Amino acid sequence: MRDIFIHLQEPSQHKLYLVTELMRTDLAQVIHDHRIQISPQHIQFFMYHILLGLHVLHEAGVVHRDLHPGNVLLADNNDITICDFNLAREDTADTNKTHYVTHRWYRAPELVMQFKGFSKLVDVWSAGCMMAELFNRKALFRGTTFYNQLNKIVEVLGTPNMEDVTMFSSQSARDYLRNSLSGIAPRPWQEVVPSADAVALDLIQRMLEFNPQKRFNTEQALRHPYFASLFDPEDLRENLSDHFHFDERVDDVRVMHDLFQEEVQRFNALRQKRETVLRERLQQAAAQQDSTNVLGADHMPRTHSLMELAGNAPAPQ
């Protein structure tokens, strides 16, 4: 977010403007544009920042619930931005949360099985699906229906054990797993994602655990050896100071306007503080003649822009 401001058209009318970075494309377009060669370093870089973005959200008590490559925007310099928060909700113990969210292919088993007590770990499942897709250049679980999506998941992970099944609330889904998908052995991950190395496969497997209680959270994923060259413990400290409460209903228009005003003032104060910190980092970097990106986004040399590489690539025949 670059700026938020309210422009007064009339004394009785406020218009709120949000100014964001210009993002040229999204990860879905990159994955399916075969003029673009996605290197292992790009995948590592993208996944680190996707998981870091999710970590900030989850620390603020927000579940995205609709994470897929089309909702991950990509700038010319490969910076990552997670977008489309229409389905985002607070991470609460509310058992009345709707389960029908997320593009089907990226939907965690607890959502497929209509478990209303799902948590922020549904986003980690989606991230695991995207990581496999970055390597394979196609979606991992391409289900066509509710039951077919379960089929696709079990064909890779194998039939879940009784402990993993009984935690879900949908009796029909449990019966389907027991009766129609029993006795299926898991496929070797080397066969599922053949272009990934053993360390990358281990991370994918840990993010794609059928049982959410066994699945990695974002901090565990960021600390995985796969990100050894990128991880900085300070990255985990860059989060919101408190949970972000946004599900309360406001029925009074004037109260809503006042809340918008307060949010704009809060944002501007935080922006000024951040700009001061960034200026100090720039000055320190200049003094040290440090070639590392000082904004804190990169902990390795900047990778080549995928859009730049695509522009130099020959068109497919």
Residue 71: name the closest of 11, 26, 39 by CA. 26
Q: Are 104 and 163 in contact (CB under 8 A)?
A: no
- Report the b/e string of 76-115 with b at 16+ CB within 10 A: eebbbbbeeeeebbbbeeeeebebebbebbbbbbbbbbbb
**3-state SS assignment for residue 144:** coil
Strand segments (E) across 75-223: 80-82, 89-90
Whole-angstrom distance, CA of residue 45 vs CA of residue 306: 12
For 314, the token pair is 């020959």
**Of 78, 81, 1, 42, residue with least CA distance to 293:** 78
d(CA 92, CA 290): 43
∠ Cα 25 78 125 (to 5°): 80
- Give me the residue label for tokens 């292992």: 40
Query: From CA 124, how far away is CA 244, in angstroms rounded?
Result: 19
**Could you confirm whether 66 is annotated as catalytic?**
yes
Structural contact between residues 52 and 112, judged by C-beta atoms closer than 8 angstroms: no
Q: Find all residues with CB under 8 Å of 218, minimum gap 6, and list them.
A: 51, 52, 54, 55, 58, 120, 123, 124
Catalytic residue among 3, 26, 33, 66: 66
| Locus of tokens 């058209």 | 9
Catalytic residue numbers, as ranges: 66
